[in-house]
Every structure is written in structure tokens, then in C-alpha cells.
């Protein structure tokens, strides 16, 4: 019985070790990164819909702004070495991210700052102010997308 328990314990440990190795495989990191980016885009799209008057959910803008802000804090960490191009996951991330990572980090910090301002502005419920900050937020998004992302 002791021998069986030892074998089972070893099997579990080996399984966990192999799972841990697969956790941050480049293709998994890229898929995760893309999911985070899509979530940010979804939040941004929802705010745009409110600002354009397509929907009347002004009271939801603050939640979307918080979502963008929280995700923006994670951006730089979503681009570890070895995840620029990978055969199992298509990515539009350009090598310039890793060639000049400090510039990329600065662009990510600018997005974080503008999204934090959007959180503050959204709390006011002032649609005009939200629209103005939305432009600033869009420029911050472009601050990463233009130099660091391949065009479609």
C-alpha cells in the first residue's frame, strides 16, 4: 500500500510538473494576450456605442473604463521574449516591441494613464467629457498599435 501511494504521489507530481511547463508556452501566452486585447477592445467598443448615442447606458461606462484600466496595467507583462511570432498562433505583434521594449513600456504606461483618467471622467456621467477623454484614450491605444502592431 505504501508503494502504491508513493507511485501515485510521484505520478501526480510529474503531471503537475509537465502541466507547469506547458502553462507559459509561447502559443498559450499569445492566445492569452489576444484574449486580453479583445476584452479591452470590447470595453472600448461599448464606450464608443454610448458616446455615439447608440445605447443609453452612460451608467455602464465607468465599469468599462475600469476594465480597460485594469487590463492596461498588465500589458507589458503580456509580451515576454519568445512570443513575437510562433507557428501555432498568429500574432500581429511586431519585433519592435522587443527591439525597443522601453519604448513599448512607455506606450503601455501612457495607455494606463489615459485609461485611469477615463475612469475618473466616466464617474461624472458627463457624456461630453467622456467623449473628449475617449479621444485621448484612442490616441493612447494608437501609441502602441501604430508602432508595434502589424496592419491587417
How many residues are given for the chain?
152
Answer whether residue 126 is part of any domain.
yes
Question: 1-5, 25-29, 50-54, 106-110: which range is least confident on average?
Answer: 1-5
Are 125 and 56 spatial neighbours (Cβ–Cβ below 8 Å)? no
pLDDT in tens, 6-61: 565 555 555 555 455 678 899 899 999 999 999 999 999 999 999 999 999 999 99
Domain presence at residue 78:
yes
Whether 20 maps to a domain, the answer reads: no
Q: Bigger pLDDT: 63 or 15?
A: 63
Domain span at residue 57 reads 26-148
Confidence of residue 90 (pLDDT cuts 50, 70, 90): confident
Question: Is 15 a member of any domain?
Answer: no
Residue 151 clears pLDDT 70, i.e. is over it: yes
C-alpha cell at 141: 491605444
Rounded to whole angstroms, how far apart are CA atoms 56 and 105? 35
Position 9 in a domain: no
Query: How many domains does the chain contain in total?
Result: 1
Closest by CA position to 99, among listed 111, 87, 81: 81
Interval 90-111 mean pLDDT: 94
SS3 93: strand
Of the pLDDT bands very low, low, confident and very high (cuts 50, 70, 90), residue 117 is very high
pTM of the model: 0.83
Tell me if residue 80 falls in helix, strand or coil: coil
101-130 mean pLDDT: 97
Give the ranges where 24-126 is alpha helix by DSSP (H): 26-51, 61-72, 96-99, 101-124
CATH value at residue 36: 1.20.120.10
Closest CA to 30 of 103, 99, 94, 86: 86
CB proximity list for 51: less than 8 A, separation 6 or greater: 127, 130, 131, 134
Amino acid at each position: 500500500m505504501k508503494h502504491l501511494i508513493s507511485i501515485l504521489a510521484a505520478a501526480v507530481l510529474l503531471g503537475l510538473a509537465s502541466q507547469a511547463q506547458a502553462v507559459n508556452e509561447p502559443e498559450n501566452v499569445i492566445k492569452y494576450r489576444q484574449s486580453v486585447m479583445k476584452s479591452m477592445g470590447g470595453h472600448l467598443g461599448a464606450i464608443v456605442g454610448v458616446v455615439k448615442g447608440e445605447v443609453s447606458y452612460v451608467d455602464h461606462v465607468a465599469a468599462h473604463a475600469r476594465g480597460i484600466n485594469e487590463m492596461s496595467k498588465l500589458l507589458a507583462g503580456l509580451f515576454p521574449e519568445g512570443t513575437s511570432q510562433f507557428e501555432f498562433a498568429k500574432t500581429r505583434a511586431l519585433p519592435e516591441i522587443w527591439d525597443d521594449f522601453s519604448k513599448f513600456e512607455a506606450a503601455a504606461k501612457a495607455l494606463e494613464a489615459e485609461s485611469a483618467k477615463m475612469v475618473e471622467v466616466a464617474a461624472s456621467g458627463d457624456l461630453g467629457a467622456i467623449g473628449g477623454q475617449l479621444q485621448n484614450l484612442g490616441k493612447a491605444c494608437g501609441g502602441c498599435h501604430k508602432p508595434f502592431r502589424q496592419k491587417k
